[in-house]
Chains A and B, each alone.
Chain A
């Protein structure tokens, strides 16, 4: 897999090996005090198959950034104020059928050809030949097709992200009913050419579009009932397989139980099974281990890593736990007050941090050598994000603040290949952003 340098200045030229690129993303929230600029011009790329860590303290906008991929923001008060989230959905590689070959670089998947130019390269796909969608602009229907199928999300607290009144099977099954109903019908031996009420009812049942009459007919009319049961069977097989893949023992029993009957680790496994059910290209993991015991954490992380490697999916790993990020991420983006202040390879960030905030963050992690009772902290607190002034957001807390920092806003520029920092200390003559609106 060829890894190209993250280019954040020329917004339009993107290396084809990136599955998603975020440019100038702005998410604002309306509040009584004014507009809160929760995410204010975020830029980063997600490369094929990589794990990108998104770190920062609470309220820095990392979760909102993650949710913007699926447009899962509370609207109102959340406003998508600008920018783009370009995403390139992938398909199974034609050369090897998903096994992994030279053509797809072993990942078993390749970009979907652009429907406008059939892979020739055109303005729609920014010349890459791969279908490129702006997730902030696609229709609601198209977005629904992407959610859970091409991009999936693992939530922070599996105890809250599972519906308490539905069984595990009922909840996991929904992913297949929404995105794989054609496969389900095929597996149940229902001919796609068949027409008539029975076929129509079965199709509606397998796509969660069933009407009351369909349900009644499927319950009372024996021929339809038998066929509806075979669809049900196909669905159950898929659910059980998905659960089994996350090393849940006895998937057939687990799928009949309710979330409250499972332990936290088990629930997170269910969430992972649900997220990975349709082999998504991109997984957004929003602090997936924060609500779990430390002992379970490691196993869940290994599981996510294994399944990701098997599928060749990319992961955006949102966390404030630096030790976890260091262990599992290929690259790390550090966020502060709605901006990415530093992005680079994990080694670069942890061994050669350039931004004062990153340095402070790393110094704040206690080690076994930290003296008792003394924890390093960054003085001050996160600034109010209501109508921010055009200055470096970290200026108030930065020990090395100078005149340029309060006069204008630094933008990300390279300090090393693949390592970008937004700080005037590194770039005294850095090009300045236009004043924030």
Chain B
């Protein structure tokens, strides 16, 4: 199948999948109780509560409520967030930008470092660098993210004071315009070196915390698939042609080793979204994860629904991207079969 056709087909399937996801999540959240809580205060009488229920159609059967919710979503109305005391749609973009900035930074750290470490270890199989990488990788995969994050916080923020927490220094943040909501991007657009440094400085600890686990998984995968590829005949054939070892690795072995690794990278995107919740809480990062955590505690159902919907979109898109890269890397892959 042509790559273009495949992408179109997947994009058509996307809304259908999302509809399914939303039905399941809607039902599950409603099991936890009525979302009316976020609209109430202690002074309200039972009559007033009933009024609010009627106003937001919460007295109707569940499928009807779902239909109302869905209509709202298609019109850009995601409901009222009790946690933020504002409509979800209004708060969402800023928090989305904060979380995406963190996730992208973490993903860049994870992919770049993971692939490099994996290659480095794979070429030096069973030598010292390989053993050291293995220690890094095993600890990365087994240390709980929240624990690792707190240790970084204690060491580098509380004790050494090298890195800040939060997303920005207030007055620097306010000194530039924010057309995209991505602090680093805005700083570059504004041409402010101070703002860019501030943005990157704030990103260091949370993105390391978030990316560390993924580094481990990617590095291990890259290492083992590279070792496997290096034993293939075509690697010797490349050497027999007179290619220097650098090209044997770069042009031949590594490219093939990337094929299985890319699949793993796709899966770690979901891992990052999960981890973002803990990382954002630890480092006071004003993103979706922290918002989501408070929303769960306070029963803010509109926020939960939006978050889950967003995560699903992200996951599906990430998988589509992985499939495309997969097909680009390996000509034998027939998409859609």
Contacts and interface: CB of A to CB of B under 8 A. Distances in A.
Interface of A: 67, 70, 72, 144-149, 152-153, 155-157, 160-166, 174-175, 178-179, 208, 258, 260, 271, 274
Contact of A274 (B232, B241, B244, B251): B241
B337 to A, nearest CB: 14
A260 B330 CA distance: 11
Nearest to B331: A258
A271 B237 CA distance: 9
A148 B242 contact: yes
4 closest A-B pairs by CB: A148-B242, A148-B241, A160-B233, A147-B242
Interface in B273-288: none
B122 to A, nearest CB: 15
* Contact-size category for B: 20 to 34
Chain B at the A interface: SS class: helix
Contact of B251 (A72, A157, A166, A271): A166
Which has the most chain B C-beta neighbours within 10 Å: A148, A162, A175, A258? A148
B243 interface: yes
Contact of A144 (B237, B243, B330, B332): B243
B243 A174 contact: yes
Interface string B291-332: 000000000000000000000000000000000000001111
A65 B74 CA distance: 71
A149 B242 contact: yes
Contact of B331 (A147, A260, A274): A260
B263 interface: no
A70 B330 contact: no
B240 A145 contact: no
Contacts of B243: 144, 148, 174, 178, 208
Contact of B241 (A147, A156, A165, A260): A147
B240 A152 contact: yes
Given A160-B232, A164-B331, A147 B239 contact: yes
A70 B240 contact: yes
A179 B242 contact: yes
Contacts of B330: 164-165
27 contacts: A70-B240, A72-B240, A146-B242, A147-B242, A148-B241, A149-B242, A155-B236, A155-B240, A160-B233, A160-B234, A161-B234, A161-B236, A163-B234, A163-B252, A163-B255, A164-B234, A164-B256, A164-B331, A165-B256, A165-B259, A174-B238, A174-B241, A174-B251, A208-B243, A258-B332, A260-B332, A271-B237
Nearest to B330: A165
A165 B255 contact: yes
Contacts of A152: 240
A260 B331 CA distance: 9
Nearest to B259: A165
Nearest to A157: B233
Contacts of A145: 242
Contacts of A161: 233-234, 236-237
Contacts of A162: 234, 237
B233 A155 contact: yes
A154 B242 CA distance: 14
Nearest to B332: A260
B143 interface: no
B247 interface: yes
Contacts of A149: 242
A258 B240 CA distance: 20
A393 to B, nearest CB: 28
Contacts of B255: 163, 165-166
Nearest to A67: B236
Contact of B240 (A153, A160, A165, A260): A153
Contact of B329 (A144, A165, A174): A165
Given A166-B252, A175-B242, A260-B331, 20 more contacts: A70-B239, A70-B240, A72-B236, A72-B239, A144-B242, A148-B240, A148-B242, A153-B240, A155-B233, A157-B233, A161-B237, A162-B234, A163-B234, A163-B237, A164-B330, A165-B330, A178-B241, A178-B243, A260-B332, A271-B237
Nearest to A271: B237
A161 B329 CA distance: 18
Contacts of B242: 144-149, 175, 178-179
B238 A163 contact: yes
Contacts of A166: 251-252, 255
Interface in B207-264: 232-234, 236-244, 247, 251-252, 255-256, 259
A408 to B, nearest CB: 37
B329 A175 contact: no
A208 B241 contact: no
Contacts of B332: 164, 258, 260
A271 B236 CA distance: 13
Nearest to A274: B241
A178 B244 CA distance: 9
Nearest to B229: A163
B233 A208 contact: no
A174 to B, nearest CB: 5
Contacts of B232: 160
Nearest to B252: A163
A145 B331 CA distance: 31
Contacts of A153: 237, 240
A384 B145 CA distance: 52
A163 B233 CA distance: 9
A383 B332 CA distance: 42
A178 B241 CA distance: 8
Nearest to B236: A72
B127 to A, nearest CB: 11
A70 B237 CA distance: 11
B271 to A, nearest CB: 27
A146 B240 CA distance: 9
B149 to A, nearest CB: 36
A160 B228 CA distance: 13
Contacts of B237: 153, 155, 161-163, 271
A163 B256 contact: yes
**Which of B239, B255, B329 has its CB near the most chain A CB atoms (within 10 A)?**
B239
Nearest to A76: B126
Nearest to A167: B331
Contacts of B331: 164-165, 258, 260
A72 B233 CA distance: 11
A176 to B, nearest CB: 10
Contacts of A146: 242
Interface in B42-65: none
Nearest to A176: B241
A152 B236 CA distance: 12
A47 B239 CA distance: 25
A148 B243 CA distance: 9
